[in-house]
Amino acid sequence: MRIADIREATASIRSDIRNAVVDFSQMTISVVAIESDVMRGGRPVTGYGFNSNGRYAQGGILRERLLPRLRDAAPADLLDDDGGNFDPFRIRAAVMRNEKPGGHGDRAVAVGALDMAVWDLVAKLADVPLWRLLSERYNDGAADERVLVYPGGGYYYPGKGLQKLQDEMRSYRDRGYRVVKMKIGGASMTDDLARIEAVLGVIGQGGDLAVDANGRFDLSTALAYGEAMAPFGLFWFEEPGDPLDFALHADLAAEYDGALATGENLFSLPDARNLLRHGGLRPDRDWLQVDPALCYGLTEYLEIVAMVEAMGWSRRRLIPHGGHQLALAMAAGLGLGGSESYPGVFQPFGGFADDTVIEDGHARPGTHPGIGLEAKAEMFAEIQRLVGA
């Protein structure tokens, strides 16, 4: 068994939306196809992957560093012990050869796109949905039939008033979501509080609303928002400050009793470990949102799950950022706390398979082999156009 071909391309996921720190009008992602030499139904079994939104395509790193190393590796070095399937850990080691430690940024994003394709391929070769493969290998055969999901929405965009924000939240409720999320920090605190109250007017209770500052606040601003929002009893207060300012998180957690969530901009096991060591987060209420499609992939994420548990946390406190099918499969198969979802943005890559039903804020994992990317028709057509054989 060997890799027959690897293809990569850049896709646009441009959206006229912004959060507190960036707009997404130029946003791109990398798409990767890994074609094996195993033929089924007259076609090679092929895995597909892409990185999450927010950190751009990584074609340079893929073409100049990662893919040449993968092509140069001895085929046997990429397989598991009995040679029956590819080994994602060995593939990661091959593509990370001669990379220095530290500096986990764009490189982690590039590996994340590649690693998604590897796991899609591995599950397809095993002819099972990825969530089932993960359940058997890493969760003693247990899996969740229903996964908590919430839409990553409530963005700022030109001309969007309270009415349109309410309409957006109503549309999520109509689609079956219960917990919803909105951006804060891109307006004044007065305006943001009015936006929060407008949304609460639609969804009823603060326990169903998460707010996301995208790392915008300094400590005093985060404390002021925390104090003002405390009476709402929000689902969580996400990325209050710079993702690497662990002391800020510790100081905020000492004052704000509600749940905090962060981690989408931590791209490695050492960075995530530092958050738990130094960030003052509380295992009984806070959430870790490390995104496998930004942080060297599911492969690194499995090591992060082990680290989190070794530090006394439950894996139920993990809800991956990204809103992609990989995160849904991981949440179901590994027994995580849930998964973000993007029903309306970052199209065609945001969101789950076309046949995924959202009921009472939960989604069921599908039965498609691999990650099930083929079951999201518009996205898969774009993937085929970009990196099809």
* Interface contacts to a second copy, rule CB under 8 A: 10, 21-26, 28, 54-61, 63-65, 98-109, 214-215, 242-247, 265-268, 270-271, 273-274, 277-278, 294
In the residue annotation, 164 being an active-site residue is answered as no
Smallest separation, CB 335 to a second copy (Å): 27
Smallest separation, CB 154 to a second copy (Å): 17
Smallest separation, CB 270 to a second copy (Å): 4
Shorter beta-carbon distance to a second copy: residue 43 or 63: 63
Closest C-alpha among 114, 6, 18 to residue 387: 6
Shorter beta-carbon distance to a second copy: residue 52 or 139: 52
Smallest separation, CB 290 to a second copy (Å): 11
Which of 183, 249, 324, 376 is labelled catalytic? 183
In the residue annotation, 321 being an active-site residue is answered as yes
Which of 104, 321, 324, 368 is labelled catalytic? 321
Instruction: Tell me the catalytic residues.
Output: 183, 321
